Amino acid sequence: MPKVISSDVEKREYWKRPVRGVSLYVSEKAMISMTEHADLGFETNKEIMGLMMGSVYKDDEGEYVIVKDVATSVLDASAISVRFNREHLEQLFESIDMCEGEYIVGWYHSHLGIGCYLSDVDIRTHEGIFGTDTGFAIVIDPAELTIAPFRCSRGIPEKVTMIVME
C-alpha cells in the first residue's frame, strides 16, 4: 500500500527536475483521467474527487513530485460538496493498489461553475491528509474549463506551477 507523502521521512531519490522552479509534474494519463472524471461529474451536476499517485524526488532546489496516476471510488456528492463514500473504501484501496506511484502525493476535486480555489473546507481536508507544506491539490472547474494546482502552508493556499508531461 502506498504511503501518504507526509507520513514518509525516508531520504528522497536524487533526480534533477526537468524544468527549474517547477515542483509539480503531472503525467498526461493522470491529467486526462482527472479531467474526464470532472466532465462526468459536470454532466450529472456533482462534484468529483480522487487521489493523485506518484513519486517524490529531490534535487538542488528541494523536493518535487511527479503524478503518475489517479485513484477514486464511489463518492457521496452534490453540486457543492464531495467525499468518498465510506461503504466503498475497499474499492478506493483497490484503486490505489492498481495505480502507478509509490505515494499518495495529492488529491483533486472539482468545483462547478465557481472557479478554481481552495475553500476553507478544502484547506482543512488537504491539511488533514497531508499536514502542512506537503502534498498538492488540483481543482478543476469543468463549467469554466479551468484547472489550478495548489499547495497549502499553514492554512494558506498557494498556486503552484504545474507541467503536464507525456
- Of 162, 165, 114, the closest CA to residue 138 belongs to 162
pLDDT at 7 over 60: no
For residue 10, name the pLDDT band (cuts at 50, 70, 90).
low
The domains found in the chain, sorted by start residue, are 3-8+22-165 (3.40.140.10)
- Of 93, 89, 90, the closest CA to residue 104 belongs to 93
pLDDT in tens, 138-147: 999 999 999 9
> Across 2-6, 13-17, 72-76, 133-137, which has the greatest mean pLDDT?
72-76
pLDDT in tens, 148-164: 999 998 899 999 999 99
Rg (alpha carbons) of the chain, rounded to whole number: 15
pLDDT at position 133, please?
A: 75
The whole-number average pLDDT for the span 62-66 is 94
The whole-number average pLDDT for the span 1-8 is 69
Give the chain's mean pLDDT: 94
pLDDT at 27 over 80: yes
Under 8 Å between Cβ of 87 and 75: no
- Of 62, 54, 70, 49, the closest CA to residue 16 belongs to 62
For residue 126, name the pLDDT band (cuts at 50, 70, 90).
very high
For residue 60, name the pLDDT band (cuts at 50, 70, 90).
very high
Cα 139 to its chain centre, rounded Å, is: 8
What phi and psi values does residue 8 have, to the nearest 5 degrees? Answer: -100, 130
pLDDT in tens, 40-54: 999 999 999 999 999
- Residue 156 bridge partners (DSSP): 153
pLDDT at position 8, please?
A: 57
Burial of 26 (0-12, 13-18, 19+ CB in 10 A): buried
